[in-house]
Structure 1
Amino acid sequence: MSHDFTDLPDVASRALGAGVVHVNDDLFAAAENLVTPGRPVHDPLAFGPRGKVYDGWETRRRRTPGHDLAIVRLGVRAEVRGVVVDTSYFVGNYPPRVGVAGVDLGGYPGVDELLGASWRPLVPESDVRGDSLNAFAVEGSPTCTHVMLTLHPDGGVARLRVHGRPAPDPTLLTGTVDVAALESGGDVVDCSDDFYSSARNLLMPGRARTTGEGWENARRRDAGNDHVTVRLAGPATVRRLVVDSSCFLGNAPAEVQVRGCVGTPERDRTDGWTTLLPRTAVQPDTRHVLPVDASAAGTPVDHVRLDVYPDGGLARFRVLGELC
């Protein structure tokens, strides 16, 4: 099943800082599993004191009217385009129907405030299949900080994926910030190759713990080079760059270059770009903090292109500057 919205970031992933802030019941399996990155796993022989062990959220069998619910704080405020309710490995115990609602609340609301908020339906109560990826497009791309998943009447769900475009509160983006970060509203718009791991990992929060949490392309066997283009949170004056090859030892690039432009860039055009960092040698397993080239000082850009020569992996890429 293919849906355009699944190409957008999953803003309900713990990798982006999402978390479960309230659940009415998770007797059999913890609701926190809903936001775990990666596909769920399953051991058919794993049983615990409360029954079968599942990598997901599972409530008890409901004997009274009503439904079960979990509230997820998104990793970043976002325009929600679609939702995937993943019932992998839940066969005789998945919910027949689910619903998803969203709310946009500033600050850090507590459970009582969330439960009393005016929630907007994102996915009306809908039938789902067991052991399946149940995908639902969301009309109108509403901006949300939290989502509520409801199970009708009960059951188990492995993962909840909420795909959308980050839209952080602009008042939180003053001063020098990472204008390329997903949590600031940046995103990858073009990549030559991400055979081993996604280029979007470059923009994730925190430090990568393994090469799998960074960007790694295939080994290049021609005369070209690999590259990634990032749409920034908005037009910005870039002050410095962080090119982090941590964890990449025999598979780091030999050199990198960073350029910027205004407007939608064309992959193979070389004109219209401002050089932010000339072609520069980099070291394996090293976090490089690099100044912007003096010739580009004060020049606003809203896209940047990172070229690696000839290929190789990086853990993180930071573009530190001020929004114009």
Structure 2
Amino acid sequence: MPTDRTVPTDRTAETPFTDLVDLASRLLGAGVVATNEDTFADAENLLVAAPAEFRPHTFGHKGQIMDGWESRRRRGRSARQPHPTDEDHDWAVVRLGVAGVVRGVIVDTAHFTGNYPETASVQAASVPGHPAPDELAAAEWTDLVPRTPLRGDTAHAFTVADPTRYTHVRLNIWPDGGVARLRVHGEVRPDPRELTGLTFDLAAQEHGGVAEAASDRFYSSPHHLNAPGRAAVMGDGWETRRRRDQGHDWVRIALAGEGEVLAAEVDTSCFVANAPGWAELVGSVDGTETVLLPRTRLQPDTRHRYRLPAGAPVTHVRINVYPDGGLARLRLTGRLTPAGQDALALRWFNALPPAEAREALTAAGLPTDLATARPLADATPVRALYAD
């Protein structure tokens, strides 16, 4: 079996959307909620965080064991219908870990060379709450990626321009075959009604925090810093190369919204011989910086917790580490300012599907014509949706 991986020349896996949060990450709570067929290999494999592996001559009672989703060979109707029907293709429905605006999708057929699908499409739907598979089947599905030819052993990257907030995606394959991984990169759009009046981790991915810049990504991604859960091994954190100059390394995180940071956790768990010696937290808003935590000594393999003095609201926080090394996680507990609440709510409301926006307005006793007036630039007309 070939070991080299190819990427179509018209779509590259290095496109900018790949640096956004994977909304279909299991760490965020994603899961496969329904599929019509996965006899050869479980659809759950689509969401495994690690790259797909292949071990030749490892056979189970159903054949070669594949690290991906693989359906049986179809022997029914023609698979060349122009539109999806239940009879001509296979599919899997994924609940996103967090609702958001999808900016790009990767359909990876890694190691599937003689058994990959001929074509595929990706659709999305927004179904609030905790819908069952039959409710999802009745939902209105929108094409994010139209039916497109696939190649074997290839990471197909598709840019998406749809500005709508979605909760679920569906991968359709024609007529059958195997897909190793599905990635759904985008921007988190949390529901402000779930956060209003609470203190929470302003930096967390699940609330819309983004590690938007870093001095060094040599060993691992800065996106690990604000990922859910605790790091189990060193590779779950952010680690820099060894510095040979007088500088220092850093990561800048855009918070879920403008807020007051009340406490911080700087976690060096699993970093025993390569933790930074010191760390500093610097907040900023509109270019004005405020030191939240002065340069402070760190210990290896330790969760450091700090209460921070009340100070000016910030929209970004930069953690400076001296001189280099690795961190497992950074948590920034705080509360949104009124301006931060309004900005977060506008991003959410403007991205809702029209029917969902009207339902939210009706429940709050607001005129439904506000749904057609979007995008709103001022939150005042819809503040009753989420205000205490």
Normalising by structure 2, we get a TM-score of 0.79
What is the percent sequence identity of the aligned residues? Answer: 53
Question: Is 2:207 the partner of 1:169?
Answer: no
Cα distance between partner residues in 2 of 1:29 and 1:46: 13
Q: Which residue number corresponds to residue 22 of structure 1? A: 34
Cα distance between partner residues in 1 of 2:191 and 2:125: 14
The 8 Å contact of residues 144 and 162 in structure 2, kept in 1 or not, is answered as: no
Greater relative CO (CA pairs within 8 A, separation 6+): 1
Q: Which residue number corresponds to residue 243 of structure 1? A: 266
Cα distance between partner residues in 2 of 1:321 and 1:213: 24
SS at 1:94's partner residue? coil
Q: Deviations over 1:34-84 (max 9, x none)?
A: 000121000112111000110000000112232111011111111101111
Cα distance between partner residues in 2 of 1:17 and 1:201: 16
Q: Which stretch has the larger CA shift, 131-140 or 235-244? A: 131-140
Question: Is 2:82 the partner of 1:69?
Answer: no
Q: Which residue number corresponds to residue 114 of structure 1? A: 136
Question: Is 2:203 the partner of 1:180?
Answer: yes
SS at 2:326's partner residue? coil
1:1-324 aligned at under 5 Å gives the runs: 1=12, 2-65=14-77, 66-174=88-196, 175-263=198-286, 272-292=288-308, 294=309, 297-324=310-337
SS at 1:37's partner residue? coil
The 8 Å contact of residues 188 and 207 in structure 2, kept in 1 or not, is answered as: yes
Cα distance between partner residues in 2 of 1:282 and 1:74: 36
Cα distance between partner residues in 1 of 2:110 and 2:64: 14
SS at 2:274's partner residue? coil
Cα distance between partner residues in 2 of 1:193 and 1:3: 19
SS at 1:32's partner residue? helix
Cα distance between partner residues in 2 of 1:105 and 1:299: 38
- Once the two structures are TM-superposed, the CA of residue 143 in structure 1 deviates from its matched residue by 1.4
- Once the two structures are TM-superposed, the CA of residue 289 in structure 1 deviates from its matched residue by 1.1
SS at 2:55's partner residue? coil
Higher share of residues assigned helix: 2
- Once the two structures are TM-superposed, the CA of residue 158 in structure 1 deviates from its matched residue by 0.1
Q: Deviations over 1:295-316 (max 9, x none)?
A: xx14110000000111110100
Cα distance between partner residues in 1 of 2:19 and 2:251: 16
SS at 1:322's partner residue? strand
Cα distance between partner residues in 2 of 1:4 and 1:141: 16
- Once the two structures are TM-superposed, the CA of residue 228 in structure 1 deviates from its matched residue by 0.4
SS at 2:46's partner residue? helix
Cα distance between partner residues in 2 of 1:111 and 1:125: 23
- Once the two structures are TM-superposed, the CA of residue 7 in structure 1 deviates from its matched residue by 1.8
- Once the two structures are TM-superposed, the CA of residue 17 in structure 1 deviates from its matched residue by 2.2
- Once the two structures are TM-superposed, the CA of residue 287 in structure 1 deviates from its matched residue by 0.7
Q: Deviations over 1:134-181 (max 9, x none)?
A: 111112233111100011111100000111111111222231011101
Cα distance between partner residues in 1 of 2:127 and 2:107: 23
Gaps of 5+ in 2: 1-11, 78-87, 338-388
The 8 Å contact of residues 189 and 208 in structure 2, kept in 1 or not, is answered as: yes
Output the amino acid matched with 2:36.
Answer: N
Higher share of residues assigned strand: 1
Output the amino acid matched with 2:305.
Answer: V
SS at 2:235's partner residue? helix
Cα distance between partner residues in 2 of 1:178 and 1:83: 27
SS at 1:125's partner residue? strand
Q: Which residue number corresponds to residue 347 of structure 2? A: none
Q: Deviations over 1:220-239 (max 9, x none)?
A: 11111100000001101111
- Once the two structures are TM-superposed, the CA of residue 323 in structure 1 deviates from its matched residue by 1.1
- Once the two structures are TM-superposed, the CA of residue 120 in structure 1 deviates from its matched residue by 1.0
Cα distance between partner residues in 2 of 1:260 and 1:298: 10
RMSD (Å), alpha carbons: 1.1
Cα distance between partner residues in 2 of 1:73 and 1:140: 18
- Once the two structures are TM-superposed, the CA of residue 15 in structure 1 deviates from its matched residue by 2.9
